[in-house]
Every structure is written in structure tokens, then in C-alpha cells.
Amino acid sequence: MNFLAHLFLDSSSDDTLLGSLLGDFVKGDIEGRFSTEISDSILLHRKIDSFADSHMVTRKSRNRISTLRGRFAGIIVDVCYDHFLSRHWLHFSTIDLKSFVDRVYAVLIKNRSLLPERLRRILPFMISQNWLGSYIHLEKVGYALDRIAGRLSRGGQFKRAVTEIEANYEVLEIDFFAFFPDLIAFVGTRKALAMEVKNQDTSQR
């Protein structure tokens, strides 16, 4: 999943927001590197990615992408799903998208010292270009995909990947609505299990 979906799925506190975004920037063992809440959110981020990658609907979405950009299909679908989440934000949230995105930017600025170097470096561009709020516009989705492609070796073949979304727009939107409720339910179950374990640990002390 891409930035916006992760942030939406784990946004109950400033620390969970941080962890849900840091999951894309922090690799390997995280023990002792962050607070418990941030670490738990990073680990949840990884579980979300695993669930999404293996889900039959996301596989169907990836298979809709042409063989020309097949190696880039996962990224295309992730960013595309953020577009649909943005478009249908109020279907899933009681808070408007702008307010949510503004909160995320404020949390990142406030906790800038905790951010990995790469995230600190791109943060001014993320905010000034409003990456998180711009996914609602398909043109901006195209810019985001081209930006990602530009960082890849031989990424030139993936330029204009937004045309893959345009060619399959309606069916990808159907895929999104088939998949996203499953993802929300998965996250809810993981959080409930984590809370149960935490309560058991507390009661045994």
C-alpha cells in the first residue's frame, strides 16, 4: 500500500501516524530504535503490505497492467488505490481529507528529529507539493508515478504509467472497493489482538 492508505489505517495518535509512514523508510530490525507505539505501527505497516500483496483482488489489479510495465505493476496499483481512497475519502472517514493531511504534515514537522534522513530530505517537497492531498487528481498520480520511476534503474520504460490506470479505470475502482474493506477489517483484527496481548501482559504484572 502507498502512503495515504497506511496513514489512514493507523492514525489514532501522533506516534501511530509516524510509525505508519516510517514503515516505508525504516528497514530491518527496529528493536530499541523507537517508542513502543511507533515500533508497533512500523510492524503493522509491514503486515499490511504483506496482506495487500497476497490478496486475490490486488493480484487481479496487478494483472490488469500491461506486460510492458508488469514489473512496475505493484507500485502502479498502490498509488492508484490511494487515488481511489482520496476520491472516496468520506466513504471511509468522518474527517475531511484536507484536515487529515494537514494533521499528518503537522505531526511530521513536529517530530522531524525522529525521521530517517531520506524522509527528512523529501519532507519539504512532500508538504509544498502536497503529495498526500494531491492523489485525488489523476494528473498528480501520473507525476507521482513518474517521480518513482525516475528513481529506478531503467525506470524510463515505466514513464507515463498513469496511462495504465486510465485504460483500466473503472475495473480498478471496482477492485479497490472489493479490497479496501477487507484491509480495514484485517487491521481492526490485528489491533484487537495486539490490545488483548497488552491487556494480558498488564494483568500478569
pLDDT digits (tens, 9 = 90+) for 76-129: 999 999 999 999 999 999 999 999 999 999 999 999 999 999 999 999 999 999
pLDDT value, residue 197: 75
Domain membership of residue 194 as a residue range: 3-203
Q: Supply angle C-alpha 195, 105, 141, rounded to 5.
A: 100
**How many domains are contained in the chain?**
1
Cell of 120: 527528512
Single-letter residue type at 65 = I
pTM of the model: 0.93
pLDDT value, residue 154: 73
**pLDDT of 204 strictly over 70:** no
Mean pLDDT of 49-60: 97
pLDDT value, residue 172: 98
Band of pLDDT at residue 199, cut at 50, 70 and 90: confident
Closest by Cα among 122, 93, 140, 92 to 24: 122
Mean pLDDT of 1-19: 95
Structure-derived torsion over alpha carbons of residues 94, 96, 73, 125, reported in degrees to the nearest 10: -140
Report how far residue 64's alpha carbon sits from residue 165's, in angstroms, rounded to the nearest whole number. 9
Q: Is the backbone of residue 72 left (phi > 0), alpha (psi -120 to 50) or beta?
A: alpha
Q: What is the mean pLDDT of the chain?
A: 93
Single-letter residue type at 168 = N
Closest by Cα among 14, 23, 168, 185 to 106: 14
**pLDDT of 151 strictly over 90:** no
pLDDT value, residue 33: 87
Closest by Cα among 18, 19, 24, 26 to 3: 24
Q: What is the pLDDT of residues 30-45, one digit of tens each?
A: 988 899 999 999 999 9
Classify the C-alpha dihedral 11-128-80-65 as positive or negative: negative
Mean pLDDT of 156-183: 95
